[in-house]
Amino acid sequence: MRRLLALSLLLGALGAAPGALAQSAPAQGCAPKVSADHLVAPGKLQMSINPTLPPQQFLDEKGELQGLNAELGKAIAAKLCLEPEFVRMDMPPMIPALKARRFDAINTGLFWTEERSKLLFMIPYAQQAISIYTLPDSPLKIAKFEDLSGHSVGIETATYQERQAKVLNERMVAQGLKPIDFRSFKTASETTAALKAGQIEAGINIDETARVFEEKGLVKIWVQGLNGTDITLDFIDRPLAEAVAKALAELSADGTYDKLFDKFKMTRLKDRAFAIRGTGPAQ
């Protein structure tokens, strides 16, 4: 119990209570490039974020928002002469909340899928894939996904990695192998705490988050790069999405994009063609 508490404290900077994150720097010296009728609040770019996935987005020991998505969101807002505001919430309600126009954008690394591209205006800006990991001293050796057959595996609920892992599991079972005993958690830190406590034998998460845990000495990565795809910034308003795509192109041209991706060791978008991918919702 003491070891689990100690791990929770160590990972405490990666999660906190839901709510708004009051980290915003007003754009100065220029007029907003997006009109008020395309924003929830005039002059502001309000973005939902789930700061539990380092180095993509997380809270530091002072409770301040950090990570690629936080800094990229601020840089985009500056290009648009808007004040960035971050609204913290869990992943599952984000799409319904965006459609209800509770904020302007989802800025939490939502994976692109054909289905989602018909619901939202999705702009790919980076790439991610899936890793499998265990405790550093685990007797379980994993060379491929099928080696998880019959074992207990922790995974974040309502995420791309959960859906992809379950698809791979179904294919594995169809080949006559035992199914994986999936156990769902709300955050990456909860999954890792459960691993440390012996509640699960392995964990699945995105490559970059797994790498952070490995660098801290908490886990050992066995497999990475599974089922990679683009991650996106997401909107319900097409003119706002198009303005953000233009801002991303400008950030790429002036070197800001590369500096941020180098800083947080994230994987860049391959073609750098920042644009809406998919049809988006009917307007």
Q: Do 22 and 115 fall within a single domain?
A: yes
For residues 208 and 129, what is the distance between their CA atoms, to the nearest angstrom? 8
User: Which pLDDT score is estimated for 20?
Assistant: 57
Residues 120 and 233 grouped into a single domain: yes
CA-wise closest residue to 213 among 237, 194, 238: 194
Residues 52 and 162 in one domain: no
User: What pLDDT score does 282 carry?
Assistant: 84
pLDDT score recorded for residue 241: 98
Question: Residue 41: pLDDT band by 50, 70, 90 thresholds?
Answer: very high
pLDDT band at 18 (very low <50, low <70, confident <90, very high): very low
**Residues 237 and 214 occupy one common structural domain:** no
Q: Domain check: are 49 and 139 in the same one?
A: no
The two structure tokens encoding residue 13: 């900077």
Give residue 21's pLDDT band: very low, low, confident or very high (50, 70, 90).
Answer: low
Whether 107 and 240 map to the same domain: the answer is yes
DSSP code of residue 197: T
Residue finishing a domain among 228, 246, 278: 228
Using pLDDT thresholds of 50, 70 and 90, give the confidence band for residue 38. very high
User: What pLDDT sits at residue 29?
Assistant: 73
- Asked if residue 55 has a cis previous peptide bond (ω within 30° of 0), the answer is yes
| Separation between Cα atoms, residue 62 and residue 225, nearest integer Å | 32
Is residue 20 domain-shared with residue 156, that is, in the same domain? no
Q: What's the total number of domains in the chain?
A: 2
How far is residue 223's CA from residue 221's CA, in Å, rounded to a whole number?
6
**In 3-state terms, what secondary structure has residue 58?**
strand
The Cα-based distances of 64 to 25, 71, 73, 103 in angstroms read 13, 12, 15, 20
Residue with token string 């990229």: 72
% residues pLDDT > 70 (the chain): 90
Do 240 and 209 lie in one domain? The reply is no
CATH code where residue 90 lies: 3.40.190.10
Range of the domain at 154: 129-228
Answer whether 0.85 is exceeded by the pTM.
no
